[in-house]
Amino acid sequence: MEKVLVRELIRDSGSYADRQVEVSGWIRSNRDQKAFGFIALNDGTHFNSIQVVYEREFLPNFDEVARLGVGSAITVQGKLVLTPGAKQPFEIKATAVILEGESPADYPIQPKRHTREFLREVAHLRPRTNLFSAVFRVRSLLSFAVHKFFQEKGFIYLHSPIITANDAEGAGELFRVTTLDPGNAPRSENGEIDFSEDFFGRKTNLTVSGQLEAEVFALAFRNVYTFGPTFRAENSNTARHAAEFWMIEPEIAFADLNDNMRLAEEMVKYLIRYILENAAVEMDFFNSFVDKGLRERLQNIVASEFERITYTEAIKILEGSREKFEYPVAWGRDLQTEHERYLTEKVFKKPVFVIDYPKEIKAFYMRLNEDEKTVAAMDLLVPGVGEIIGGSQREERADVLEKRMAEFNINLRDLWWYLDLRKYGGVKHAGFGLGLERAIMYITGVSNIRDVIPFPRTVGSCEF
């Protein structure tokens, strides 16, 4: 008998019609009557489950099968029958049902609505629910689409290091990496822990960004991207932050901020289009049960020209609006979430690049503009979420960069290799960072980052 995946049956049910097949999977629901019953079977290869019909007349173990609970694993042999007019397009009339692994009555996932909070507590079982089946399918597809986009453009994929000694970027609190015994660490004369005795002979931490290393590769391969895990030890408990998350960081050489924005806009549209086309069933689910306006909003983004305004223009718009903001608007202050959302949702009603921020509120590596007050930074704001991408043209002039590092109290010696990039064949270059989880949240409408990461790591929580 032919072993088949549910995905193949759903995509090509016509050619399987009236044939004997064998499928294996987990029971989503089981309803029995006196002489027959129905099982919704999901084998993980497709978002949808298929219906298995079993009849007392043909199954010697009918009573045993009728008692099988949700979550049980079974193998079904039987004939695929098309059922036009019924709720499901086809079903399998079972001639044999073999129990692979039982699931007792205390199985926590029931065929009913559970809260997200409860499902997080059973993160090892939640992939078997509709919502998380859809989320993690999209996460997988989106990851592939990221590679597809950049590889088609000839970008080199760089594995930036996960353990690093960089702590100069100021992107957030660091996770220390050490093999020293915390209770008995070697100490120097002044009583501080002596990291020269540590595994790497110096202080090291988990990376907060692969950007600096990406710049190294951009100045060798021209166009590169990183795509990997990053870590922030911030004590922030929100629906949008995790201690471990994935970032996509392209870096392009012989390119300025405009090239950077063009790349970001093209990438965002590509990723959304890819998911709309390749995860249509999952997107139907999100559009129906998670966020009713989702598909329309995404389609609008794909079709729209992203707006581009300067920070200074943004401040003028905000100052001229009659909206009451909780936080004051003034040139030199960073834009708050409420300001960003007002700009993208109320004023422009589409994605907006805000560029040329005051140098004081942005990172040291961003290129100083001619006015010497602003830097060539860009944030992409989108309706519904706010900031989704942050990037900049990098400072390629060694003297300006050194001056900026001094202003930020960054030790030149720690980043000697970063400065070398400006000394030897330095060219203008730019890049940006996109949080994978933020992108998944935006595309699926799922509003908590803990629900788009398989096993989320947040403050005080590292189960599984």
Partner RNA sequence: UCCUCAGUAGCUCAAUGGCAGAGCGGCCGGCUGUUAACCGGUAGGUUGCAGGUUCGAGUCCUGCCUGGGGAGCCA
* Footprint of RNA (CB under 7 A): 29, 31-36, 38, 40, 51, 53, 67, 69-70, 83, 86-88, 91, 93, 105-106, 108, 110-115, 117-118, 120, 171-172, 209, 232, 234-243, 245, 247, 327, 334, 336-338, 386-390, 433-435, 437-438, 447-450, 460-461
- 15 or 110: CB nearest RNA: 110
Instruction: Report which of 19, 102, 18, 21 is spatially closest to residue 65, judged by C-alpha positions.
Output: 102
Nearest to RNA of 52, 195 (CB atom): 52
Q: Would you say 115 or 184 has its CB closer to RNA? A: 115
CB of 408 vs RNA, minimal distance in Å: 12
Nearer to RNA, 20 or 238 (CB): 238
- Output 44 or 172, the one with its CB closest to RNA: 172
Nearer to RNA, 134 or 389 (CB): 389
Q: Which is nearer to RNA, 178 or 336 (CB)?
A: 336
Nearer to RNA, 279 or 452 (CB): 452
Cβ at position 433, least distance to RNA in Å: 4
Q: 172 vs 228, which CB is nearer to RNA?
A: 172
Query: Least CB distance from residue 409 to RNA, whole Å?
Result: 16
The distance of closest approach from Cβ of residue 339 to RNA in the complex, given in angstroms and rounded to an integer, is 8
